[in-house]
Amino acid sequence: MNTTAKLSAFGTALVLVVGGAYGVGTAVGPLDTATTSTDHGSDSGGTGHASTVPDSTSELPGGLASSLGGYTFTPTASTLPAKDTTDFTFRITGPGGEAVTAFDVEHDRAMHLIVVRRDGSGFQHLHPAMAPDGTWSAPLQVPTGGSYRAFADFTPTGAAATVLGVDLTAPGLFEPATHQPTRTASVDGYQVTLTGDLIGGQASPLTLTVRRDGRPVTDLEPYLGAYGHLVALREGDLAYLHIHPDSPTTSAGPDIPFVADVPTQGSYRLFLDFQHDGVVRTAAFTAPTGPALPDAATTPPSARHTDDGGHGH
C-alpha cells in the first residue's frame, strides 16, 4: 500500500473510532417524552440521586441522557481545547424549548457541573454562574485530548431534581487510563481511607477517613453545607450518583459517613471532595461491588460457613 493510501485508511479508521465513541455516549439520546423524579437525598439521609421513569419498574441512573423530563442540557460547543482554559457555556432548556432561568439552591449552589474523562480520569466539580438569559458559564481546563462527559446537576424551581449528561471532545492524543481497585488515596499530604462495601441495588454504608501526615484530621471545614461530598460514577457508561454525608454537620472528621445506593453491580469510581485549611481537595478511589454477606445475627449457626479452624464468619 502506498503512503497516500495508508494515510487515507488511517484517517478513515480514526473517524470511525471517534464516531463510535460519540455514538456510545449519545445512544440513550433525548428522552423528551419521559419524566424524571430525582432524589437528592436529605442532608440527614445521605442517599444519592436516583432518577426514575414513571410507568416503569426500572430505574434510570442519573446522567445517562442529555434530555429527560422535558429538560435538555445544551452546551454552546461540544469541543474543548486541551490544556487551555476556556469558558464552558451551556443552557438548560425546559419543556417549551426556552432557557430555564429559575433554579432552586441545593447544597449552597443552583448548579453543580461535573466534568470527567470517559476513562474516569481528570474529575472536576465546578459551580458555574448564570447570566440573566439562562446561559451558564464556568472556566474549564481539561488536561489532555480525549472524550469527556459533563453532568449538569440541578433542580428547576417547581420541578424535580435532575441530572443530565453530554459528551464533549478535546482534540489530541491521549493514553486511556485503567484504574485498579483501591481503598486509599493520597492528595497534597492527606491520606484518605475508604471502608465499607458497595452492594449493587442496596443501601451501602461507607466511611471516608481523612488523615494528614498520618494524624487524624478533626477540623474539616464545611464545603457546600457538609464536611464532604461524594460522587460515584459507574465504569463503562458513567452512570452518576451524587451522595451526601449521613451526618453532614455533626462531626468535623476524621470520619465522614455516607450511604451509597449504587444502582447495579459493577465497578465504580468514587470522588470525595473535602475542605481543610481553606482548600478543597479531591480523593479518588475505584471500588467494585460485592455480594451481600449473610447477617451473622440472623443466620443459623448450622448455615454459617466455617474455616478450617471451625470459626464462623
Q: What are phi and psi of 11, to 5 degrees?
A: -65, -40
d(CA 38, CA 154): 10
Are the C-beta atoms of 125 and 231 separated by less than 8 Å? yes
- Grid coordinates given for 113: 457541573
d(CA 73, CA 26): 12
In a domain, 179, yes or no: no
Domain end (from 122, 138, 170)? 170
* Count of structural domains within the chain: 2
Mark whether 101 and 142 lie in a shared domain.
Answer: yes
In a domain, 120, yes or no: yes
Q: At 144, which CATH number?
A: 2.60.40.10
Q: At 279, which CATH number?
A: 2.60.40.1930
Range of the domain at 160: 22-170
Q: Which residues are within 8 A (CB) of 311 and not within 5 positions of it... i.e. 6 or more apart? A: none
Mark whether 213 and 240 lie in a shared domain.
Answer: yes
- Whether 59 shows a pLDDT value over 80: the answer reads no
- Grid coordinates given for 108: 449552597
What is the tens place of the pLDDT at every residue in 195-245?
Answer: 999 999 889 999 999 999 999 999 999 998 899 999 999 999 999 999 888
pTM (2 d.p.): 0.75
CB neighbours of residue 125 within 10 Å: 20
In a domain, 14, yes or no: no
Mark whether 150 and 86 lie in a shared domain.
Answer: yes
The confidence band for 300, taking pLDDT boundaries of 50, 70 and 90, is: very low
- Half-sphere exposure of 140 toward its Cβ, with a 13 Å CA cutoff? 35
Domain end (from 170, 205, 236)? 170
Domain end (from 170, 200, 223)? 170
In a domain, 159, yes or no: yes
In a domain, 119, yes or no: yes
Mark whether 44 and 164 lie in a shared domain.
Answer: yes
In a domain, 307, yes or no: no
What is the tens place of the pLDDT at every residue in 72-118?
Answer: 999 999 999 988 999 999 999 999 999 999 999 998 999 999 999 99
d(CA 55, CA 52): 9
In a domain, 11, yes or no: no
